[in-house]
Amino acid sequence: MVRTPRLFFLGLLLASGHAWAQSAPAPLPAWEKLTPEQREALIAPVRDRWNREPDERGRMMERAQRWQALTPEQRAQARHGMKRFEGMSPDQRRQARALYGRMKTLTPEQRADLREQWKKMTPEQREAWMRDNAPPPRDRDRRPDR
């Protein structure tokens, strides 16, 4: 009788180890080796957005072309920036949009100056800067589904 619980727990341990080994994701193949169903699963969200938002098609195409022109290092940097942005609070996102919109118009030296000024500003000064420099909200930023 003593052996039965031990065997039971040994069986559980082996089964859980087997489940862990199976849960490790296998590397996915190159695009050319994907099944039609896998390709469809990847493309469907883009197709749906393309059809749902005809006014955004030009912007979507321009972004796709810009992405294709990026080097692997630039793509990695862009992915990192997108992850940072996703982790921001709504107020931090608002500030990031305003700073980005302003910095696009500045020279590298002016950008460095603005970064230094921003670091020294109080929250009240930053809010005043935002009021004076924030770009107008885009229609897509006001939609409830975004």
Residue 120 pLDDT: 94
Residue 134 three-state SS = coil
pLDDT in tens, 89-132: 998 888 888 888 888 889 999 999 998 998 999 999 988 988 88
pLDDT at 54 over 90: yes
From its phi and psi, is residue 30 left (phi > 0), alpha (psi between -120 and 50) or beta?
beta
Residue 139 pLDDT: 56
Rounded Cα distance between 111 and 117, Å, is 10
Phi, psi (rounded to 5 degrees) for 144: -70, -20
Band (12; pLDDT cuts 50, 70, 90): very low
